[in-house]
A and B are shown apart, each in its own frame.
Chain A
């Protein structure tokens, strides 16, 4: 069965520091991978997605993610974190490609940014 694991429940970084949020997936074929951000009480905003091609994907707000098939990972990175980046981040995989096209989400990583 498809699954997504985000090992870090909660991460705190200093403003201006670099950030890496981990995501590992289990999927039998080439996955479609997504990173979403959610502010408190809000819906989800797409940061970036990977379908195929270049394994380094650029997203909005200065985020990027790298797909590593050998490690079944799709880690999210940002070179310099801003206070406004504090939010919850979800990694997701398209669990039904060609069938139901439904997203399977990881448990999320809550990012806190300290001054």
Chain B
């Protein structure tokens, strides 16, 4: 089936630095990628939707200058957390519509970001 590879699985960074998270669709073309954030013991909250070759659409309350999303190709979408602060520590997950499986969504394995 369709696979979305997400890297890194976990990352620790210092406050003020930037971190890039990559999601790659391995055997299908992901024209759309959804980025979610999950706080401990909470549900997934959609942050933004990226579309290949165009600007991402951010959900209300999500700072677009803080969370930079790039979807430069049909197989790669990236989320960059800029000038990270401890409150940005969270679990980030990407997801792409899976046209290979009669609709549905394929999720990456997630990235645990810890900002110290």
Contact A105 B44 (CB under 8 A): yes
CB distance from A27 to the nearest CB of B (A): 16
A34 beta carbon closer than 8 Å to chain B: yes
B44 touches A90 (CB 8 A): yes
Interface stretch of the complex, out of A16-24, A36-44, A79-87: A36-44
Would A103 and B95 be within 8 Å (CB), given that A32-B103, A51-B103, A90-B43 are in contact? yes
**Contact residues of B between 16 and 69, Cβ < 8 Å to A:** 32, 34, 41-46, 49, 57
Provide the main secondary structure of the chain B interface. Answer: strand
Q: Is the CB of B43 within 8 A of A108?
A: yes
Give bound CA distance, A42 to B6, whole Å.
11
The chain A residue with its CB closest to the CB of B97 is A101
Of the candidates A46, A100, A102, which one forms a contact with B104 in the assembled complex, judged by CB atoms under 8 Å apart? A46
Among A36, A43, A90, A110, the residue within 8 A (CB) of B109 is A43
Identify the interface centre among A32, A43, A104: most chain B CB within 10 Å of its CB. Answer: A43
Bitwise, B72-106 to A at CB < 8 A (1) or not (0) is 00000000000000000001010101000001111
Partner of A44, one of B42, B93, B97: B93
Name B's A-contacting residues (CB within 8 A).
Answer: 6, 32, 34, 41-46, 49, 57, 91, 93, 95, 97, 103-110, 112
* 24 sampled A-B residue pairs with Cβ under 8 A: A34-B104, A41-B110, A41-B112, A42-B109, A42-B110, A43-B93, A43-B107, A43-B109, A43-B110, A46-B105, A46-B106, A51-B103, A90-B44, A100-B57, A101-B32, A102-B34, A103-B34, A103-B46, A103-B95, A103-B105, A105-B43, A105-B44, A107-B43, A108-B43
